[in-house]
Structure 1
Amino acid sequence: MNYYVCETCGVQYEKSIVEPSECKICTEERQYVSVNGQKWTTLDDLVASGQYKNVITIEEAGLHSIKTVPTFGIGQTAYLVQHSHFNLLWDCITYIDAETITTIKELGGIHAIALSHPHYYSSQVEWAEAFDAPIYIHEDDKEWVTRPSEHIVFWTGEELVLKEGIVLHRVGGHFKGATVLEWQNNKKEGTLFVGDIIRVVADRKWVTFMYSYPNFIPLPTNVVKRIASQMDSINFEKLIDAFHRVIEKDAKERLQISAARYIAALENKLFET
């Protein structure tokens, strides 16, 4: 019996004797199956290969990034947010080993895990069991959980305060339960972690909003308007996405300007071609 892991998206499945017939995350239109076909591995095999390690980097006071090298699965970055004796793992990555666990325990461990959306569920249960931490997932994405666990807490509504200054906001769009994280990190302005519910573009001056990034399916204007309106009510100066792209300042303003440009493009008001 193995907990099989999809090599394309990195999501771990419930224990089974044989490999699953397909990955329901990848066969859905927001993701994709590799051109080389559906392939599976296990976390034990990844660790035993000796090919991977997690690089844990301090980004600023109270914030560490966690990145697997070389890249595995989608290649997202997870973040350890340290706030008032409360450590939150924001989003997840598949690879976890003894060295990773030791290093994070030296940083105070993990008190809770929160996910932006199903593409980053990865081996979230392995992380939860290693640190005895609850996993917070919005109930609207319950159907996408591939490995059930008593550690998973399905929360409801539009907002969940995990700790004063640490707030989850359901914004939808990319997934119905898509969530962003507000961190009021004892500064004048806060930081917004967005996974790829909102994605920072190449020049770090704009963001975009998509239903599917690999398949280039945009979100409709009414959804982007709703997301922009919701983000306008949150206090943040900095924005960090799932691929280590950061808007360091004026991020709230840049998000609103980006939303307006996106909507204008879809409504045929931005350009003629």
Structure 2
Amino acid sequence: MSTLPICKTCAMQYAEPRQDCPICTDERQYVPASGQQWTDLATIRDGFTARVEDQGPGLIGIGTHERLGIGQRALLVRAGSGNFLWDCTAFIDDALVERINALGGITGIAISHPHYYSTMVEWAHAFDVPIHLHEGDKQWIGRPDPKIELWSGTTLRLADDLELINLGVHFTGGTVLHWSEGAGALLSGDIVQVIPDRTHVGFMYSYPNLIPERPSVVRRAAELLEPYRFEALYGAWWESGIPADAHEIVQRSARRYLEYVRD
């Protein structure tokens, strides 16, 4: 619904008006000095324009030219099993839906963590597909809906070539998507953060407030990812990709992290 409230800072859409945004009052995010402000999808459609660009082999970025909320972009994965939407952006209109349908539509949606839930329900209804969220983050859902399917445990096989992995970094339900096609790719949101030095990645509990992730969580994440093979890694931002040697970079980064931050 185009008039439901959306937090201007994180772009989370809520089912009804409220005074605060729990996502932003949490210590992993923030309420700006100017205070809590709200918008809605109708207003966003008037002030923002869609941006759709290639981000890597078989990956199309979807977002806006102007910064919206946290500023992340989603990824349309052109998988052999069918197009799949990874993460979400708040902007969606009829023209964008038509453009994506012309590419084959989408078969489902999965989101790395609550900071990117945004207008996920709008997307799910526009394409009549499920949203796969880890149950560890169910408390952060701002707009409950039957399209949301909660999963539990460490992994969820979506298709022969797509698998969700709950690493627990950043949020309890913090999840990445492994795409096994070709040399393999890991779509990480900022659960595994692409940083300016592309020889390493980062792990944080809070990025804006600079709170490091717990060493035990990073150690577990590295162990979970070790058996997977992926040459490339794609983060949450435009052009935030590591095209080669990503598996070793993730493992090397975890080792470095644990050398500096200990239990």
Question: Same fold by TM-score, threshold 0.5 exceeded?
Answer: yes
Cα deviation 1:62-95 (Å, max 9, x = unaligned):
2211121101100001000011251110000001
Q: Which residue of 2 aligns with 1:65?
A: 61
Q: Note if contact 2:81-2:160 (Cα within 8 Å) is conserved in structure 1.
A: no
Alignment of 1:87-102 (within 5 A): 87-102=83-98
Shift of residue 59 of structure 1?
3.0
Q: Which residue of 1 aligns with 2:252?
A: 257
Shift of residue 61 of structure 1?
4.2
Cα deviation 1:17-57 (Å, max 9, x = unaligned):
xx31100100001100011100000001111x2x3111111
Counterpart CA distance in 1 for 2:256 and 2:48 is: 40
Match of 1:196, as an amino acid? D
Counterpart CA distance in 2 for 1:256 and 1:3 is: 42
Counterpart CA distance in 1 for 2:176 and 2:130 is: 17
- Provide structure 1 residue ranges, at least 5 long, that are not aligned to the other structure: 269-273
Q: Which residue of 2 aligns with 1:248?
A: 243
Of 5-14 and 227-236, more deviation after overlay is shown by: 227-236
Q: Which residue of 1 aligns with 2:137?
A: 141
Counterpart CA distance in 1 for 2:64 and 2:241 is: 19
Counterpart CA distance in 2 for 1:160 and 1:22 is: 33
Q: Note if contact 2:63-2:91 (Cα within 8 Å) is conserved in structure 1.
A: no
Q: Which residue of 1 aligns with 2:44?
A: 46
Q: Which residue of 2 aligns with 1:151?
A: 147
Q: Note if contact 2:81-2:161 (Cα within 8 Å) is conserved in structure 1.
A: no
Counterpart CA distance in 1 for 2:134 and 2:262 is: 31
Counterpart CA distance in 2 for 1:106 and 1:98 is: 12
Counterpart CA distance in 2 for 1:53 and 1:170 is: 33
Counterpart CA distance in 2 for 1:252 and 1:54 is: 32
Counterpart CA distance in 2 for 1:162 and 1:121 is: 19
Give the TM-score normalised by structure 2.
0.96
Counterpart CA distance in 1 for 2:91 and 2:19 is: 23
Counterpart CA distance in 2 for 1:59 and 1:198 is: 17
SS of corresponding position for 2:189: coil
Match of 1:198, as an amino acid? V
Q: Which residue of 1 aligns with 2:102?
A: 106
Residue 75 (str. 1) matches residue 76 (str. 2): no
Counterpart CA distance in 2 for 1:62 and 1:7 is: 31
Q: Which residue of 2 aligns with 1:118?
A: 114
Match of 2:50, as an amino acid? N
Give the TM-score normalised by structure 1.
0.93
- Provide structure 2 residue ranges, at least 5 long, that are not aligned to the other structure: none
Cα root mean square deviation, aligned = 1.4
Counterpart CA distance in 2 for 1:69 and 1:242 is: 15
Q: 2:231 aligns with which of 227, 232, 237?
A: 237
Larger-Rg structure: 1
SS of corresponding position for 2:106: coil
